[in-house]
Each structure stands twice: as structure tokens, then as C-alpha cells.
């Protein structure tokens, strides 16, 4: 519905990550992520806030509910945290590979060159 029915350019590119609904179906918390920097994220948050009432009406009609839940959009920080952890792990793997390459290089430089002597033939 966000992609098809909300024509606010401020929404940007958002992905819904999960939705929680209270047992009485009165409140829905919609978790999302948004592409872009902090400014784009804030723009998406404002646009989603503006679209909440519109989406609530659409949702009520689509689900045939007498009273549709109040919709609250919440930026999903867990995804950003996961991305940061993945970035750190990638950096650590790259550092490990570089250290292993350095160790191999140092080991090959430390080996004395093999020279042929008369003792080798006996």
C-alpha cells in the first residue's frame, strides 16, 4: 500500500521489517528501514507520519474492520546495527587476510636460498 497508494515523494525507499499489533487490534506499530542518509531517513519518517491516517483508512477497508488500528511508524534501528556489525566483521576479515599474507611473505623471505654443494651429492 505504501508503494502503490502513497504518492508523497518524501517517503523515499522504505522497507517494512515487521509489524506488531496489540491484542485488541487498536494499535499497530510498523517498523521500517529507509535508504539514504540521516536527512533522507528523517524525510521518510515525516512522510510516513503524514500518511498514517490515510493508510489506516485503506487498511480498514481492505481488512473489512469496523475500527482500523492506529498506525505508528518506527524506524528499525536493529537493521542499522546489523549492517554495522557486518561492516566490522568484513573489516576484521580483511585485516586477518592482510596479516596472513604478511606472515607468508615474511616466512618466504626468511628462508635461505638453497645452494648446491659437494655434500649434497653424497
d(CA 19, CA 67): 18
Please report, for the domain that includes residue 8, its CATH number. Answer: 3.30.300.20
pLDDT bracket for residue 56 (50, 70, 90): very high
Residue 20's domain comprises 1-75
Q: Is residue 44 part of a domain?
A: yes
Cell numbers given for 75? 524506524
Q: What is the average pLDDT across 7-28?
A: 90
Does residue 30 form part of some domain? yes
Domain identity same for 71 and 91: no
Do 60 and 10 share a structural domain? yes
Residues 61 and 29 in one domain: yes
Q: Given this model, what pLDDT does residue 118 score?
A: 59
pTM: 0.62
Structural domain includes residue 26: yes
Question: Mind giving me the DSSP string for 47-95?
Answer: HHHHHHHHHHHHHHHHHT-SSPPEEEEEE-HHHHHHHHHHHHHHHHHHH
Edge-first strand listing for the sheet containing 70-75: 14-21, 27-34, 70-75
Q: How many domains does the chain have?
A: 2
CA distance 34 to 11: 9
Residue-wise pLDDT tens digits, 25-51: 899 999 999 888 888 889 999 999 999
Amino acid at each position: 500500500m505504501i508503494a502503490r497508494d502513497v504518492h508523497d515523494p518524501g517517503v523515499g525507499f522504505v522497507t517494512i521489517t515487521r509489524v506488531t499489533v496489540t491484542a485488541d487490534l487498536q494499535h499497530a506499530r510498523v517498523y521500517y528501514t529507509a535508504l539514504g542518509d540521516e536527512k533522507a531517513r528523517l524525510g521518510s519518517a515525516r512522510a510516513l507520519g503524514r500518511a498514517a491516517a490515510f493508510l489506516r483508512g485503506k487498511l480498514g477497508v481492505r481488512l473489512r474492520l469496523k475500527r482500523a488500528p492506529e498506525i505508528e511508524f518506527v524506524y528499525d534501528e536493529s537493521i542499522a546495527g546489523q549492517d554495522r556489525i557486518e561492516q566490522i566483521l568484513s573489516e576484521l576479515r580483511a585485516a586477518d587476510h592482510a596479516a596472513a599474507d604478511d606472515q607468508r611473505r615474511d616466512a618466504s623471505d626468511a628462508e635461505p636460498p638453497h645452494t648446491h654443494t659437494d655434500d649434497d651429492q653424497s
